[in-house]
Amino acid sequence: MFQYSEKVMDHFMHPRNVGEIENADGEGTVGNPICGDLMTFYIKVKDGRLADIKFKTFGCGAAIAVSSIVTEMAIGKTLEEAMAITNKMVAAELGGLPKNKLHCSNLGADALHAAIEDYWKKQGKAPIQRKRRAK
- C-alpha dist (Å) from residue 68 to 41, 42, 75, 83, 122: 10, 12, 11, 17, 25
Q: Which member of 94, 104, 115, 116 is catalytic?
A: 104
Domain ranges across the chain: 6-121
CATH code: domain 6-121 is 3.90.1010.10
* pLDDT score, position 11: 94
* pLDDT score, position 73: 97
* pLDDT score, position 125: 85
Q: State the pTM of this model.
A: 0.88
- Does 60 qualify as catalytic in the annotation? no
E strands, 8-126, in order: 26-32, 37-46, 49-58
Q: pLDDT averaged over consecutive 10-residue blocks of the chain (135 residues)?
A: 82 95 96 82 97 94 92 97 93 85 79 96 76 45
N- to C-terminal Cα separation, the chain:
22
* pLDDT score, position 133: 45
Q: Which member of 35, 51, 89, 128 is catalytic?
A: 35
